[in-house]
Chains A and B, each alone.
Chain A
Amino acid sequence: MGANGGAAAKPQPPRKSATGAKVITVTSGKGGVGKTTTTANIGVALARLDQRVVLIDADLGLRNLDIIMGLENRIVYDLVDVVEGRCKLRQAMIKHKQLPELYLIPAAQTRDKTAVSPADMIKMADQMRPEFDFILIDCPAGIERGFRNAVAPADEVLIVTNPEVSAVRDADRIIGLLEAEGKKTPHLILNRVKTEMIRKGEMLSPEDVTDILAIKLIGIVPEDENVVSSSNSGMPLAFLDGSRAGTAYRNIARRLMGENVPFMQLDDNSGFLKRIQRLFGGQTG
């Protein structure tokens, strides 16, 4: 609270709630389904499409987004420093090495979720809205304080899940909680999809998942070994052209910008492809 109390930040243009940045929170309930990787990749993909993007790591105490973005060694101030007034918002925003319109606000590593309140998050997001096109918030796993902080300012929520029963169950819980908060119906990203396993009937298909969750898909990301190596090297896959997962993330970014992007061919099995296309119907593309 009071981050910019006396600090007289540079005068900001009057807030235009209708035209400012869209705040998107990436969440899942379950841990390890790929929230942080998804946030990083969509952020990179949006920035490559000339959007002005801020990524916020809301996973206080377990920060990871900085590592995946390759910005770990540039951290001076973090989100809690902003909230507690030790620095200005601008000072905590780390500019990306290659993409000048991409910023990261890292989480604090030495504090826990209670260091920030939902009201702090709303205030911070509102402060940035006029200057950006997208604010992406990486939500921690779980349904407690950290989750409530991350979704408080969200205009839109993306739920990441894997085609596994346990991950889908947690996604269902999260959707219920978002309904209770009065948020817009979230969109679904199905991550780590293996077409081969689906064909053998060993993995839930996108159809199975949407049948249970009854929300719209905005992306299907195939399992891709390159995700691990690119995350380790701090260079999200969406930088590279040619990888299947990277293309899937770029497609999600374009859909978030309102483009009608057809779903890429996951497999040469035409029956499966047809089912996917049917799932997305005409308008989601």
Chain B
Amino acid sequence: MPDSTVAIKGVNDGLLITLDPVEEWGLVTAELATHIDEKGAFFNGAEVTLEVGTRPVRKDELTSVKALLERRGMTLFAVSSDSDTTLESAIALDLRVRANSSPPSGAAYEPDALLSFNSEEDGLAGVMIRRTMRSGRSVRSQGHVVIYGDVNAGAEILAAGDVIVWGKLRGNVYAGADGDETAVVCALDMQPTQLRIAGYIAISPPEKRRKPKPEVALIRNDRIVVEDWDG
């Protein structure tokens, strides 16, 4: 049983720890502690990427794993997951996140897992963040990014798909990062420091704004234009 729930392997930039996505969480973390302790100080100083698959990990749960690793001289550096809950927890803890990325381990990924709701519409998966992104935070996704909150100046969003900000957009935003020129950026109050879509860059006009209103940025005739959102 022990080997099935926790896998630790060395990757070029540190350790990749893969936790079983379905086994009871308390059991998995206990198993993890045992695994590390068996090796004594072997992992001391290691930077850890945690791979939890589809498991939704709450912030307090992630905090306790982070502490568990830190007590053993290791640093939790990044979290890789398919679950928005997990990614949101990781961002709340100021950790790097890897969403929907092809895992460095080669573990079998099921990219359609999120779409298996028998949906009539197809679409790209995305990350949903329900908090304000303050300066220094960043989100990256190979799908879309939705922020329910503000994006403050100094924060950064990068998405291969679209970016939707249900709040004030003041930071840097990059939609269509893989070259998709049909990508859009929407915000309730559009005042990004810098806005990029595919290969285009725009900055906000310097003049003071009037009443904020929802707007959409998109590429039209080879330039980024910002239009009122009329529904």
Contacts and interface: CB of A to CB of B under 8 A. Distances in A.
Genuine A/B complex: yes
A108 B150 CA distance: 41
Interface stretch (B15-23, B102-110, B128-136): B128-136
B154 A172 contact: yes
B92 A169 contact: no
A32 interface: no
A175 B136 CA distance: 11
B80 to A, nearest CB: 18
Nearest to B94: A180
Residue with the highest number of chain A CB atoms closer than 10 Å, among B94, B134, B154: B134
A214 interface: yes
Contacts of B63: 182
Contacts of A175: 134
A177 B136 CA distance: 9
Nearest to A143: B136
Interface in B152-186: 152-154
Interface residues of B, number: 14
Contact of B132 (A170, A173, A214): A214
B93 interface: yes
A169 B94 contact: no
B135 A172 contact: yes
A176 B153 CA distance: 12
Given A182-B63, A212-B152, A173 B92 contact: no
A169 B132 contact: no
B135 A173 contact: yes
Contacts of B137: 176
B154 A169 contact: yes
Interface string B113-153: 00000000000000000001111110000000000001011
A212 B135 CA distance: 11
A172 B94 CA distance: 14
Contacts of B93: 180
A176 B136 CA distance: 8
A176 B152 CA distance: 11
A110 B154 CA distance: 34
A172 B153 CA distance: 9
A179 B92 contact: yes
Most buried by B among A175, A176, A182: A176
Given A176-B134, A177-B136, A212-B153, 5 more contacts: A172-B153, A180-B93, A180-B94, A182-B63, A214-B132
